[in-house]
């Protein structure tokens, strides 16, 4: 068997897309006009699939901070945090994240994917047990795989199933790690975090919550579902990313556990990856200050999410979850979803196409992500495009 034989099914799928004239994974935004607008295929397009929840990618203060860092610290660190890649800004951002969450300390990683990969691969290894929600992100699965821990999936958002599986572990349950997300990226649904935290406390194990899609979105201060549901004290590890609400790139983990610092010396993705550029760190710090300073952007985001959700519901579409910044439309059939995505782009709306096997329960999704920067007119235009295509579904 040749090393490329395993790709035959993938190659067949690619040929099918070429036959249909559809390339959902090779879209190039030729010019960014604003956080919510761009040129795609020469057409003015509403960006409704970027996860730019607070619209901070064009924030003047964030841009100014990045520009200053570029001027005085250069374009990159050219080294890992363990080598020459720890600048003062990296540590300051960690301290600011810890203060924001009222936790003892934080670790900053180069990407959100690496935050999960690096934390889990170092934290849990052979002989350890991780119980993760079946709909967890690929980075969580990959971190468990890299560390070599025994991985047990429990049914999505089902605290009773989690408790049943912990009970089967007997004495091992006390050292187990539970992993869930705040908002799940495919459907936009929330974890039943209070119930999950109660199970965690019952068995005395550890809890990790990935707030990638809920940082800046939920909670009085934007600290995510752990704050929204008042379970922050029960979360031993809180993960997050800078690439959504904070408008840059990178990831982090905050914790009260003193052992968090040991992750720096045992996490291969942390040790062997160049640290984030000074400009990225500077813009992230500026965005975090803006996020923490008020709730106006969050309120605008939720207003827009409710507007889009109500509009699509009124049109008769099946949506994946109650109102959330992630608005996922269920489309019956893979080919139908591919054609719908293409037609939506021709109507001037960029969205995300999600297909099996990465989607829950094998459904096909047209996923929109709402931003605080979207105008009412843009939300209405997205709804109008869906209305025009309603008869094709």
Handedness of CA 186, 190, 193, 195 (dihedral sign): negative
Residue 183 Cα distances to 4, 12, 179, 385, angstroms: 36, 33, 13, 26
Burial label for 221, CB within 10 Å (0-12, 13-18, 19+), is: middle
CA distance 134 to 131: 9
Of 114, 55, 65, 121, nearest to 93 by C-alpha is 65
Catalytic choice (213, 302, 339, 374): 213
Of 367, 284, 294, 376, nearest to 97 by C-alpha is 284
Q: What is the DSSP letter of 274?
A: B
Structure tokens, 261: 């610092």
* CB 252, CB 97: distance < 8 Å: yes
Neighbouring C-beta atoms of residue 222, cutoff 10 Å: 26
Structure tokens, 8: 């035959």
Of 57, 49, 284, 315, nearest to 188 by C-alpha is 49
Catalytic choice (137, 190, 200, 244): 244
346 labelled catalytic: no
Catalytic choice (185, 243, 248, 286): 185
339 labelled catalytic: no
At CA 304, angle to CA 301 and CA 306, rounded to 5? 110
Element (H, E) at 240: strand 237-241
Q: What are the phi and psi torsion angles at 367 (to 5°)? A: -105, 125
- The beta strand positions in 62-211, using DSSP E, are 105-109, 129-133, 150-154, 177-181, 206-210
Structure tokens, 369: 């992500």
* CB 106, CB 253: distance < 8 Å: yes
164 labelled catalytic: no
- Catalytic residue ranges: 185, 213, 244
């Amino acid at each position: 068997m040749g090393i490329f034989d395993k790709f035959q099914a993938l190659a067949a799928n690619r040929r099918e897309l070429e036959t249909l004239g559809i390339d959902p994974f090779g879209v190039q935004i030729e010019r960014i006009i604003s956080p919510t607008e761009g040129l795609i295929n020469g057409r003015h397009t509403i960006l409704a699939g970027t996860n730019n929840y607070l619209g901070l990618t064009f924030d003047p203060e964030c841009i100014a901070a990045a520009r200053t860092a570029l001027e005085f610290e250069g374009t990159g660190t050219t080294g890992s945090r363990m080598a020459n890649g720890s600048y003062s800004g990296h540590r300051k951002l960690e301290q600011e994240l810890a203060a924001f969450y009222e936790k003892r300390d934080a670790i900053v990683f180069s990407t959100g994917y690496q935050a999960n990969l690096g934390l889990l691969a170092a934290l849990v290894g052979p002989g350890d047990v991780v119980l993760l929600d079946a709909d967890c992100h690929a980075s969580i699965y990959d971190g468990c795989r890299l560390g070599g821990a025994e991985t047990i999936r429990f049914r999505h958002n089902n605290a009773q199933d989690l408790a049943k599986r912990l009970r089967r572990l007997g004495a091992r349950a006390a050292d187990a790690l539970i992993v869930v997300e705040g908002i799940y990226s495919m459907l936009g649904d929330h974890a039943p975090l209070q119930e999950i935290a109660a199970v965690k406390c019952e068995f005395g194990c550890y809890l990790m919550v990935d707030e990638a899609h809920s940082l800046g979105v939920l909670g009085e201060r934007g600290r995510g579902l752990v704050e929204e549901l008042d379970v922050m004290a029960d979360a031993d590890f809180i993960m997050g990313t800078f690439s959504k609400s904070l408008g840059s790139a990178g990831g982090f983990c905050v914790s009260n556990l003193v052992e968090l610092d040991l992750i720096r010396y045992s996490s291969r993705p942390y040790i062997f990856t160049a640290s984030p550029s000074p400009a990225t760190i500077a813009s992230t710090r500026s965005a975090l200050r803006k996020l923490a300073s008020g709730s106006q952007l969050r309120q605008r985001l939720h207003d827009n999410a409710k507007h889009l959700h109500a509009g699509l519901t009124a049109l008769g579409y099946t949506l994946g979850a109650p109102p959330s910044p992630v608005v996922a439309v269920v489309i019956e059939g893979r080919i139908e979803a591919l054609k719908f995505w293409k037609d939506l782009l021709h109507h001037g709306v960029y969205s995300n196409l999600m297909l099996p096997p990465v989607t829950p329960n094998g459904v096909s999704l047209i996923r929109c992500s709402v931003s605080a920067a979207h105008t009412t007119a843009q939300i209405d235009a997205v709804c109008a495009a869906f209305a025009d295509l309603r008869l094709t579904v």
